[in-house]
Amino acid sequence: MQLDKVYEPQRFEPHWAQWWIDRGFFHAPSSRHEGREMFSLVIPPPNVTGSLHIGHMLEHTEIDVTTRWHRMKGDQTLWLPGQDHAGIATQMVVERALKASENITRHDLGREEFVKRVWQWKEQYGGTIINQMKRMGDSCDWSRNRFTLDEGLSRAVRETFVRLYEKGLIYRGEYMVNWCPQCHTALSDLEVVHEETQGNLWHIQYPVKDMPGRFVTVATTRPETMLGDTAVCVNPEDERYFDLHGKSVILPLTGREIPVICDELADPKFGTGVVKVTPAHDPNDFEAGKRHNLPHVKVIGLNGEMTAEAGAYAGLDRFEARKRVLADLDSQGLLVQTAAHQLSIGRCQRCKTIVEPLVSKQWFCKMKPLAEPAIKAVEEGRIVFVPENWSKTYYEWMYNIRDWCVSRQLWWGHRIPAWHCGECGEVTVSREDVTACPKCASTNITQDPDVLDTWFSSGLWPFSTLGWPDKTPELAAYYPTTVLITGFDILFFWVARMIMLGIECMGDVPFKTVYIHGLVRDAERQKMSKTKGNTIDPLVVTEQYGTDAVRFALLRGAAPGTDIVLSEERMVSSRAFCNKIWNAARFIFLQMEKVGVESLEIQSLASHVAPAERIEGALPLEDRWIFHRLNETAAKIHAAQENFRYHEVADLIWGFLWDEFCDWYLEVKKFRIQQGEHMHAHLRNLLTVFEFALRLLHPVMPFLTEELWQRLMKKCDSLPESICLAAFPQAQDSTADPQGAAAFALLQEMTVAARGLRADQKLDPKATQDGFLYPANETAVMLGATELPLLQALTNTKFEVGAAGAEKAAGASRATNDFEMVLKLSGAQVDAVRGRLVKEIEQLQKVIQNSQKQLGSEAFVAKAPAHVIDGIRSKLADYEAQLAKSQAALTDLGA
């Protein structure tokens, strides 16, 4: 039972993390229990490819704090864990591993064998995140862990796809998509990251057919695509080009004749007013091509190399082809200008390769019919965003939503449930595998080779994980979930799609509240990135400082709508806080041993604050105060938890445990116990408060509180097996005592005043000092009569209580509206203090005189910068305040 002097979290955390799981404390019942409030949330499923970073730790800490709080409140609670198969990322990782270890590609293996290898990789490495979560104490129901490629979730994905297809919301066709030449798949707009970069705008002359010497000049940032031009375009209202209506131009380097079209695509105010039209390689040109029935000439292939359609440039990398095209244009005198130009480059979110706009046959989902009820759900308040401003961002995207390209040219993922007939070309979308064509009965049937976008399956996460499309007890009990806690970076990828698909498939919203947390930034407020080298590995810092300390450091900065600044200083202070609580427990247990008490029955086992034990019919003043503050703190923590104000939760706990319980209450109780009277009652009240405070702290610091709880169980009767099963404290009117709290606050003020006086006079803190206390109101008189020994012990000052209106003794003094205090000083002390004050006054007067002289100089004030003048004035005000204080102290010393 003896506690070490220093808390070493690494010794205890792994044990409790596994013990909670083994004991099944986080398991949620399958069906709803009548009379209990329901609380459920699903984890934003981390990608199976990687490990948790410090941003994940912030998110998981906030989720865990919320979940533990609801569980302790008595709510029927489910935190459902899981992982995402992360199609592009996982396939990319495995392909790299194959290349490095066996020098083979997925094509060498074939689809079936490659997918088998990915599953093997997932089984070997995919448990990293689960192990991290367990080690961090995430209070998930691990019996319900889900993976987006689980059999049940795969069935939900197929059911959703078929339903949307049957409603005409999923269709297949040739459209412009974002293509990644590295990952070899189409990407949605959201998977393309745009970055501003310095490029060039090249001006190229196209000869007009049958008009010798007549050219049109086009400007382009991608000259290699001109090989696929099928028209040039002018604005129909642009008078400069009326003579070209109905004409053709000759495409340089190819000799191909292409028409001049009139379309709003060309802006007369931009550049020359003439634009090249490449329907196969630009989304705007693609739409113009549809309006004018232009052919598609595909000159860049899926691998980023020039196709046979590019003629002499076939087989070249697209960027090498650009250099060759520019050189050839220049040699023919057709490259008339090169100008620097700022442009936005789209890159694949995963591999950072520059994406290529290509026309491709893909599967798409119509989004506007799904977006309309999802917008309405937020407008009507059925879903609330916290902070509220994120709803505006949500609306902006949803009102401008475009159809979603849901197919990906990958092998790892949910295979699209569509079968193509090799005889008649019929496409069959089905819930069950198709073996024969329903139209011509041919068995020459092949399943579509594409897989679904990863976000399609994760969009079903809140209900597919609970057993949908079956009507399971879990689905009835826990859907819709209560809250979603996530980052803003997947607001559109995931949150919006869950809302749309939840309403579509379930007829109800997937969650009632969306809390959007901020980013974790470094001490200089920079975004963390591997490039900058400022990332933080959570496993490293938790090993160094302890998991609880890192959680607490993250929470202290987690105000809604702001980013979190995580510094070493904040983690060090959080670790010190853990050690402070540890030493408080150590002090309590030592006091019990000294008194010879092995165990005590304490009073705060219920959810409310029980009254303190009376001593000789009355409550000690410190107990009246601490129970009142305990009551207030519990109420404030409840309010903060309900509003996702995690930083307030942390600050309230810090303030109560460090500033009030440790710095004041323990010191008072130490004095009471040393007096040797009513020690059992004092210890019982002390334990009651501490046990209550541990429960307040548990959601934030689960490991430390569990370790101390288990030790507390040896000293208290009838405690639950684990603190995570204990009731979270509730505020209770019966323990409110504002009068007692105010009286103790006055005692604190007296103590601080006496300590301040001693410090001002630089008196030896170990030496007992004599003094006088002159009460000025009824409460101060009461304190002077009943708590004088305590005040003397706290200040190491022997006070005499003077009558109101009595002549004040000479010495160092301090006065307030409630009392006046005087320290008696010996002749030697007076002489030492007087000498020091005289020197201070002389120095301050010189500094003040110099500052006034500077400010009084018109030449100096005219030349000096404004911030310098302001700084001198600010310091002058401080010097004058110090001078007044020193002069008053000198006066207090008397003659």
CB 686 within 8 A of CB 102: no
| DSSP classification of residue 296 | P
Listing DSSP states for 701-726 in one string gives -HHHHHHHHHHHHTTBSS--SSGGGS
C-alpha distances in angstroms, 657 versus 591, 606, 640? 19, 20, 17
Spell out where 657-796 has E strands: 769-775
Listing DSSP states for 846-877 in one string gives HHHHHHHHHHT-HHHHHHS-HHHHHHHHHHHH
- Residue where the block lists tokens 């974790």: 520
Rounded to the nearest 5°, which phi and psi values hold at 496?
A: -60, -40
Spell out where 238-394 has E strands: 248-251, 256-262, 274-277, 335-348, 356-365, 384-386
Task: Look at residue 298 and give its three-state secondary structure.
Answer: coil
State the Cα–Cα distance between residues 801 and 500, nearest whole angstrom. Answer: 74
- Residue where the block lists tokens 């000025």: 776
CB 388 within 8 A of CB 513: no
Q: Take residue 890 and report the two structure tokens written for it.
A: 């000198």
- Residue where the block lists tokens 């030896």: 764
Chain centroid to CA 429: 40
C-alpha distances in angstroms, 62 versus 221, 494, 756? 46, 19, 40
> Annotated binding residue at 530?
yes
CB 425 within 8 A of CB 104: no
For residue 39, which of 695, 723, 513 has the smallest C-alpha distance?
A: 513
C-alpha distances in angstroms, 17 versus 22, 137, 210, 376, 381? 9, 5, 82, 42, 38
State the Cα–Cα distance between residues 887 and 624, nearest whole angstrom. Answer: 40
State the Cα–Cα distance between residues 227 and 254, nearest whole angstrom. Answer: 7
For residue 706, which of 12, 78, 11 has the smallest C-alpha distance?
A: 12
CB 415 within 8 A of CB 422: no
Q: Take residue 60 and report the two structure tokens written for it.
A: 């998981």
- Residue where the block lists tokens 């650009």: 322
| DSSP classification of residue 655 | I
Q: Take residue 573 and report the two structure tokens written for it.
A: 């202070």
State the Cα–Cα distance between residues 821 and 808, nearest whole angstrom. Answer: 9
Report the DSSP beta bridge partners of residue 583: none
3-state SS, 424-473, equals CCCEEECCCCCCCCCCCCCCCEEECCCEECHHHHHCCHHHHCCCCCCCCH
672 CB-near residues (< 8 Å, 6+ apart): 620, 622, 678, 679, 682
State the Cα–Cα distance between residues 304 and 513, nearest whole angstrom. Answer: 44
State the Cα–Cα distance between residues 163 and 745, nearest whole angstrom. Answer: 67
State the Cα–Cα distance between residues 67 and 479, nearest whole angstrom. Answer: 16
For residue 163, which of 573, 501, 615 has the smallest C-alpha distance?
A: 501
Give the residue ranges of the annotated binding site: 530
Give the residue ranges of the annotated binding site for ATP: 530
